[in-house]
Copies of this chain bind each other. A is one copy, B any other.
Amino acid sequence: MSPARTPVIIDCDPGIDDAIALFLAFASPELEIAGICAVAGNVGINRAADNAARLAQLIGVPETVPVVRGHAGPVARVRRLPDEPVHGAGGLGGVDLPEATRPPHPGHAVDWMAEQLERRPGEFTLIALGPLTNVAALLHTRPDLRAAVREIVLMGGAAFAPGNVTPAAEFNFYADPEAARYVAETGVPLRIVPLDATRKALTPLEDAQTLERDGAPVTSAAGRMLRHLVERHSARSGVAACAVHDALAVAAAVQPDLLEWTEASVTVECTGEFTRGALVADVHQRTGQARNALVATGVDAAAFRELLLSRLRRYSRQDP
């Protein structure tokens, strides 16, 4: 008898690493994915929803697992950050995917998530791979459903590592600091996968090439996207490898003990001149605040590499 699968909802803003994260998630029998929500972040909401739908189609996600459009910008600023250039044209590293044929889901991501939580209270893990706008809006609109969320596993923040937008802030948190803070304040169980962890779990060029050569639709798309990321990263740092941030957050839901978790009281700075969007993690209990999160500060990089590669290659076996 197979072990119980974890019911999850994936909220994302694809984005290359979101795409890899979706590939990983749908190749992981540990997860039962109820649906994919889109949020503005790496790209605008139209692009994010469209990319999510195209990715779902490429993967072969059945229409019973909907792709639902969410918020177009952060909760507390009318203007959102411009698209992240690292994700290239279209947000998927220049990889063109066939247009999605499934009709757009009519509802709003926040409402759809609320329905799922109502139907199966206490069961769902939310995997949040973009700005936390949808998740915060859900917890704000439906405070009664906070207790119905089993856990939130999110990619975001830089606890004791440099940010990737500003010296202090990572993209997802910087794009909507008030949402990130809100989520942290609710007290919903939280696993945070920050840059501290993702930068320690690099995917080498070699793996991108292996996947690209495979030739099956998902593996080769994954390969090309990863190669795009590696090349961007390599141009900056000289290292022919890249972090695949969001995929590590999915891995954290699939196999939590791949990562090293530190209990902390966390919040997000919303008002700093230089630190807006910074994840503030109290790991030494200096504030006296209750611990409200597990923060990934380490990772078994080899095991993650192995997990990612082996799971992505399942798309190859399915497509002989």
Binding site for B on A (CB under 8 A): 71-73, 75-79, 108, 110, 137, 140-141, 143, 160-168, 178, 181-182, 185-186, 265, 267, 269-275, 278, 280-284, 286-287
Residue pair B162, A71 in contact (C-beta under 8 Å) = no
- What are 15 A-B pairs with beta-carbon distances under 8 A? A72-B143, A73-B140, A73-B143, A75-B178, A76-B76, A76-B182, A78-B182, A137-B140, A160-B162, A162-B283, A167-B281, A167-B282, A168-B269, A269-B272, A271-B273
Overall SS of chain A's interface? loop
A140 to B73, CA, bound (A): 8
Instruction: Please state if B275 and A141 are interface contacts (CB–CB under 8 Å).
Output: no
Q: Which residues of chain B come closer than 8 Å to A269, judged between CB atoms?
A: 168, 272-275
Please give, as numbers and ranges, the residues of chain B lying within 8 Å of A162 by CB-CB distance: 160, 281-284, 286
Q: Which B residues lie within 8 Å of A110 (CB)?
A: 141
Chain B contacts of A281 at CB under 8 A? 162, 167
6 A-B pairs with the lowest CB-CB distances in the bound complex, closest first: A272-B272, A271-B271, A78-B185, A76-B178, A167-B282, A275-B275
A305 to chain B, nearest CB (A): 24
- Which of chain B's residues have a CB closer than 8 A to the CB of A164? 286
Cβ-closest chain B residue relative to A72: B143
Q: Which residues of B contact A283 (CB under 8 A)?
A: 162, 167
CB distance from A130 to the nearest CB of B (A): 16
Return the chain B residue nearest A185 by Cβ.
Answer: B78
